[in-house]
Amino acid sequence: ININYNPTIEFDNVSFKYTDEFIFNDLSFTINRGEKVVILGSSGSGKSTILKLLMGFYKVNKGKIKIFGEDINNYDIHELRKYVSIVPQDIFLFNESIRWNVKFSDFDNVTDEEIIQSMKKSQIISLINQKTRTLDTKISEFGNSLSGGEKQRLSIARGLSKSAEIFIFDESTSALDLETENKLLENIFSELKDKTIIFITHRKSILKWFDKKIIIENGRDLNE
């Protein structure tokens, strides 16, 4: 895998349907190495589907998806996933420690110090700043008291603690207030300066951070 290959991601005339109706019709776009890209589009337009296709969860009906210049069908999908960090729209936390939940996919390779740094950058360090709450505290010990925004920030901390080349955030700040969102984006963008970042969002407030917009409508990129 040549992670330095440019462009990082290519959708080349991709058509895709889950069932009988096509979600994408000849969708094409290119994301360059280190580029910061926002994906916009109405609810149900297929934004999260792009992410699922990139991860190889489904096969396209027509066209090609390339990552680092190679057709994703040619990859061992587990190998490919090492290079991509995803913060999904549907957050999943396990009733394990905070440490476990942040480390998650990179279990052996992330130190406590790195976890704490990721949590600081994700504006969620306050979760463990009280005497009784540490990295060892289990999610259940917070009762049902983790708010939607706290879950999102913990999930972002997980995403940031993975050493990857491509970082994808799917509606990851939708529950945050503007001030928290802004600080968090500042941290993400300085932390991942050289990485490729894809952000799926409805929030107009964050557009200023991005080099490129992909707008999904009727199965295509409106820019094309």
Residues of this chain that interact with Mg ion (CB under 5 A) are 47-48, 89
Min. distance of Cβ 47 from Mg ion in angstroms?
5
Give the separation between CA 14 and CA 159, rounded to whole angstroms.
27
Query: Does position 48 bind ligand ATP by CB under 6 A?
Result: yes
CB of 95 to ligand ATP, least distance (A): 26
CA quadruple 173, 176, 181, 185: dihedral positive or negative? negative
Q: What is the DSSP letter of 128?
A: G
Report yes or no: 91 and 159 within 8 Å, Cβ to Cβ: no
Binder of ligand ATP out of 31, 41, 102, 176 (CB under 6 A):
41
Locate tokens 């190889």: which residue?
56
CA atoms of 69 and 88, how far apart (whole Å) = 24
Main-chain dihedrals φ then ψ at residue 187, nearest 5 degrees: -65, -45
Q: Which of 47, 53, 58 is nearest to 174 (CA)?
A: 47
Complex with ligand ATP: residue 17 or 133, whichever CB lies closer: 17
Q: Closer to ligand ATP at the Cβ: 6 or 89? A: 89
Check binding of 89 to ligand ATP (CB under 6 A): yes
Q: Is 101 in the site for ligand ATP (CB under 6 A)?
A: no
Token pair for residue 219? 């199965």
As a whole number of angstroms, the distance between CA 124 and CA 120 comes to 6
Q: Is residue 23 within the footprint of ligand ATP (CB under 6 A)?
A: yes
**Is 145 near ligand ATP (CB under 6 A)?**
no
Residue 19 binds which of ligand ATP, Mg ion, none (CB < 5-8 A, kind-dependent): ligand ATP
Closer CB to ligand ATP, 41 or 159, in the complex:
41
Stretch that binds ligand ATP, among 39-47, 151-159, 187-195, 206-214 (CB under 6 A): 39-47
